[in-house]
Structure 1
Amino acid sequence: MNTIRLSPTIDKLTAINLIVGMTLWLSWSVLVVQLHAVTVHLSYAQLYSLLAAAGSGACVFQFVFLWLGERSMHKRFIQVGSVLLLIPAIGLTWQLSVEEIAIEQLYVLAFLSGLGGAQFIALQPAAGARIEKSSLGWVLAVNAGIGGVGIVLAQTLLPLLSGINWLGDWAASPWLTHQTSGDIVGVLPPSTPLWLANTGWLLVVAVIATSLYSLGQRCARGAQAMPSPSGHPPSAEPVVTNTQPPMLGRILKNRHTWLMTLFYVMAFGSFIGFAMTLPLSLETFSANYTPSALTYAWIGPLLGVLARPFGGWLADQYGGAKVLVVCALVMAMACLSAAYMTAAALQSRVPEEWFLPYLLVFLVIFIAAGTASSAVFKTASVVLPLEQLPLALRWLTAVATAGAIYIPALWYINVSQAHGANTLVAFALFYVLCAALVSWVYLRRRSEFYNP
């Protein structure tokens, strides 16, 4: 067969719900930098731990959704999940409105915010109509870009709104920065007021507005036709071509599933992990001089999101394995360059001269990771049986989300070591190992699948 029929199409309303969820989840990448700017008692270890807690929540909820199967991908399920995001959003608003921050409560809120990131699994796989295998990489990449919009919104919009008292007399007392901070517009000097609770208020308003819009749409549809038992109107009922989908255990017996899992951890795991940690890692790199992490950090995830459709097209044209090898080697060289710059900056009297090269190297990593993510999906569509592909792609996404756990943990090690470049060297070795494994398994002429 040259076509595959996947799960229900991601419509506009579902896409909005997913974007709001991703924005809430990635808001922690901004909050940890702002908390570092306004408080003196939170260490880098605690801040990276908050990021790891948010990543842990997303990973745990993703596996719950994986266990629930197709139900977790239905529009009503996603909408209910979005309503539940009010819990961490309201909690965040309250916690950032009080004078004393309780780190234990922040850990709980960060974990619960992971529910927003877990909804990303509904995009894998994503398409309700028949997709030609020749264009599968492109189609899946475009759908995955929906979640990336939430990442960019979190890192551009939230820092900007934190500096505006848009609630007037209703706003809580602002926090004052004790060091240089910033937003997408530029650098904020010390003693600048920040209304951090604005982040929670914005997300509360977004969730409520989306929920009300969803309710209105459902009522409008209900006036025209009775919904089916699954919750979808008759015209939108998902097509199920295999009434007995393969069990996850059967998929995990396929060695190609484990190879694709490793490669997607390398690709998407790196993308989401670095998207979560880059603002804080730039802050640790540039804490003593002018460049602001929040002024530039959003560029990397944006380029990674834009690279996904391009990576899907490249994989469709030249083969996913070849694209994957090139991306892995590029990421390895970029990490080695970042390691060198980190070591050089630690010994330099003018470390600011290394900030721009360091940032540019990470932009390359994001582009390569986004491209590689699409290449993995293309390769998986060839080496895995088509009837297993939908569940397999959701498995890949759930496991690779662990990048939002181990990368914050490794960055903590990176900043606590005397030679902080060691972690970046370890990343480079991992990427080289993945490139070698792809070449050995999929780029030999006698391979079971050549350049899938």
Structure 2
Amino acid sequence: MTVLTDPGRGRAAAAATPETKGGRWIDHWEPDDEGFWARTGRRVAARNLVFSILTEHLGFCVWLLWSIAVLNLNSVGMQLSVGQVLWLTTLPNLVGAAMRIPYTFAPARFGGRNWTIVSALLLVVPCGLFVYAIENPDIPYWALLVIAATTGLGGGNFASSMANITHFYPADRQGLPLGLNAAGGNLGTSVTQLAMPPLIVAFGLVAVGWVWMPFILLAAVCAYFFMNNLRQATSAYTLREMGAICRQPQTVVMSVLYIGTFGSFIGYSFSFGVLIKSQFPDIKGADFIWLGAFAGSLARPLGGWLADRFGGARVTAVDFLLMAAGIGAVAAAVRAGSWPLFLAAFLLVFVTTGIGNGSTYKMIPAIFKTKALERVDTADPAAVARAMATARRNAAAAIGITSSVGAFGGVLIQQSFRISLEETSGIGPALVGLTVFYGLCMLLTWAVYLRKVRVGDTRTSLAQAGV
């Protein structure tokens, strides 16, 4: 590839195509260069985004597999207590959250395309083990727990996918693609909840394991032929670097905010059917539980788009207010015994979780870009280029860490409803606690990103710098 020097900008500009070597490796990638992005960057990034979405979507489908299966275990002769059933749905959530840490750093170690192939093929393991468990209903409970835990591999896919796609897009245009990438994955939740019940009726519970295998193999083949590794994004992290990123104040703050958004989304997705059954026992919950995850997933790109347009911090702060209002409406519906109001209010909450998921993920690259540029001479193109590369790499790591903490937050949501139901026979106390938490998240967003502070002779905020 020929590299042309742009005297006006004082740095190298790419020719018509990215430089590739060794198959699907790209050696030159400069998405923040407008000329490069217009010529080839946008097209290559979009292609990688499409097949990243496919694998991540299947990851969520597999992750939620046992949340549907536990409702039908009696049909294959498995008699479990309520506590045992709850553990079969909680353990995948815990393992999925934990797997997001190593999955975050895997693309940097092995290459984004390479890891997408591996992470897709790994999904065959929980599907195959599920088939084995259903065909052997006398299997010990501890073995059943181990098999359910393997579906957490699907939860890890989100972190590696998001960390990889971050490198493909310009820092100021990541809201919508990250929102689309995440929404495609999140939709796997509602697809599982919608498609599995009729599949079970038609072919039996064992079909839940078999049905995903051909799609998983297709995703791996597509990743092999159509995705790319970015050479500049494959510098492996040391344990010291990982620890430093985890300890950065911005990583901590965004992790808390993501508990409020994604933790709520996944926690409500796992709990919605139980809440419907406990509060409105005459309603057939299976007809409605998929609506929440579906609405939240579709709203996620909207959150990214709004963040690109108005700023992630502003959208996130307003969104937390709407989340608190939505939970207040859910509480009112419970007190009134109104099923239509309950459903409408909860769907509003799901929509706000999706918007918040998109806006918070727009914030992370913008935060690290702003912080990196604060420490360099912006008149020095080489220094700016190095700072942007470091910011992009650290943002990718922070996204994975934040996604892991957020997924653990889903477990907290589940447990808050469990404790509330066991201690008070209602969900009122849990709803009050969630409303307070969303209010605190709004205040945290304002204090860190929207509140103006004095810098030299002016007052400014991180939001005004593009966060």
Q: How would you bin the TM-score normalised by the shorter chain?
A: 0.7 to 0.9
Equivalent residues, number = 396
CA–CA distance in structure 1, aligned partners of residues 428 and 268 of structure 2:
15
Q: What's the counterpart of residue 339 of structure 1?
A: 331
Structure 2's unaligned 5+ residue stretches are 1-29, 370-390, 454-459
Whether the 8 Å CA contact 1:320–1:378 is kept in 2: the answer is: yes
Q: What's the counterpart of residue 302 of structure 2?
A: 310
CA–CA distance in structure 1, aligned partners of residues 51 and 364 of structure 2:
29
Whether the 8 Å CA contact 2:246–2:252 is kept in 1: the answer is: yes
- Deviation of 1:417 after TM superposition, in Å, equals 2.3
Q: 2:421 aligned with 1:415, yes or no? A: yes
Q: 2:208 aligned with 1:199, yes or no? A: yes
Q: What's the counterpart of residue 346 of structure 2?
A: 362
Structure 1's unaligned 5+ residue stretches are 166-194, 222-231, 346-353
Q: 2:290 aligned with 1:298, yes or no? A: yes
Q: What's the counterpart of residue 77 of structure 1?
A: 115
CA–CA distance in structure 2, aligned partners of residues 81 and 127 of structure 1:
15
CA 1:112–1:137: 2 relative to 1, 3 Å:
same
> 1:104-143 maps to which residues of 2 (within 5 A)?
104-127=142-165, 131-143=169-181
Q: What's the counterpart of residue 225 of structure 1?
A: none
Q: What's the counterpart of residue 245 of structure 2?
A: 251
Q: What's the counterpart of residue 358 of structure 2?
A: 374
Secondary structure of the structure 1 residue equivalent to 2:163: coil
- Deviation of 1:20 after TM superposition, in Å, equals 2.1
Q: What's the counterpart of residue 391 of structure 1?
A: 397
- Deviation of 1:157 after TM superposition, in Å, equals 1.1
Q: 2:280 aligned with 1:286, yes or no? A: yes
The 10-residue stretch of structure 1 (99-108 or 355-364) with the greater mean CA deviation from structure 2:
99-108
CA–CA distance in structure 2, aligned partners of residues 147 and 376 of structure 1:
16
Per-residue displacement from partner, 1:362-414 (whole Å, max 9, x unpaired)? 11111101101111122222222424211111111122111332222223213
CA–CA distance in structure 2, aligned partners of residues 410 and 206 of structure 1:
35
CA–CA distance in structure 1, aligned partners of residues 192 and 260 of structure 2:
24
CA 1:361–1:40: 2 relative to 1, 3 Å:
farther
CA 1:333–1:43: 2 relative to 1, 3 Å:
farther
- Deviation of 1:317 after TM superposition, in Å, equals 1.6
- Deviation of 1:255 after TM superposition, in Å, equals 1.4
CA–CA distance in structure 1, aligned partners of residues 140 and 52 of structure 2:
34
Q: Determine which of 239, 248, 260 is the counterpart of 1:266.
A: 260
Q: What's the counterpart of residue 437 of structure 2?
A: 430
Residue identity matched to 1:197: V
CA 1:36–1:332: 2 relative to 1, 3 Å:
farther
Q: What's the counterpart of residue 462 of structure 2?
A: 449
Per-residue displacement from partner, 1:181-219 (whole Å, max 9, x unpaired)? xxxxxxxxxxxxxx21221121344435555x45xx85x
Root-mean-square deviation (CA), in Å?
3.2
CA–CA distance in structure 1, aligned partners of residues 152 and 446 of structure 2:
35
CA–CA distance in structure 2, aligned partners of residues 275 and 317 of structure 1:
28
Residue identity matched to 1:449: L
CA–CA distance in structure 1, aligned partners of residues 111 and 331 of structure 2:
40
CA 1:101–1:378: 2 relative to 1, 3 Å:
same
Q: What's the counterpart of residue 384 of structure 2?
A: none
What is the TM-score with the length of structure 1 in the denominator?
0.78
Whether the 8 Å CA contact 2:245–2:251 is kept in 1: the answer is: yes
Secondary structure of the structure 1 residue equivalent to 2:230: coil
Q: What's the counterpart of residue 145 of structure 1?
A: 183
CA 1:343–1:94: 2 relative to 1, 3 Å:
farther
CA–CA distance in structure 2, aligned partners of residues 243 and 40 of structure 1:
48
Whether the 8 Å CA contact 1:29–1:279 is kept in 2: the answer is: no
Q: 2:431 aligned with 1:439, yes or no? A: no
Per-residue displacement from partner, 1:97-141 (whole Å, max 9, x unpaired)? 455575433322221101012111122134477634432211211
Q: 2:316 aligned with 1:324, yes or no? A: yes
- Deviation of 1:244 after TM superposition, in Å, equals 7.9
Whether the 8 Å CA contact 2:32–2:171 is kept in 1: the answer is: yes
Q: Which structure dedicates a bigger proportion of its chain to helix?
A: 2
- Deviation of 1:269 after TM superposition, in Å, equals 1.4
Whether the 8 Å CA contact 2:111–2:230 is kept in 1: the answer is: no
Residue identity matched to 2:32: T
Secondary structure of the structure 1 residue equivalent to 2:232: coil
Whether the 8 Å CA contact 1:30–1:279 is kept in 2: the answer is: no
CA–CA distance in structure 2, aligned partners of residues 426 and 36 of structure 1:
35
Per-residue displacement from partner, 1:428-447 (whole Å, max 9, x unpaired)? 11111111111222222226
- Deviation of 1:239 after TM superposition, in Å, equals 3.9
Secondary structure of the structure 1 residue equivalent to 2:202: coil
CA–CA distance in structure 2, aligned partners of residues 2 and 20 of structure 1:
28
Residue identity matched to 2:199: L
Whether the 8 Å CA contact 2:179–2:301 is kept in 1: the answer is: yes
Q: Which has the higher contact order (CA 8 A, sep 6+)?
A: 1
CA–CA distance in structure 2, aligned partners of residues 39 and 28 of structure 1:
16
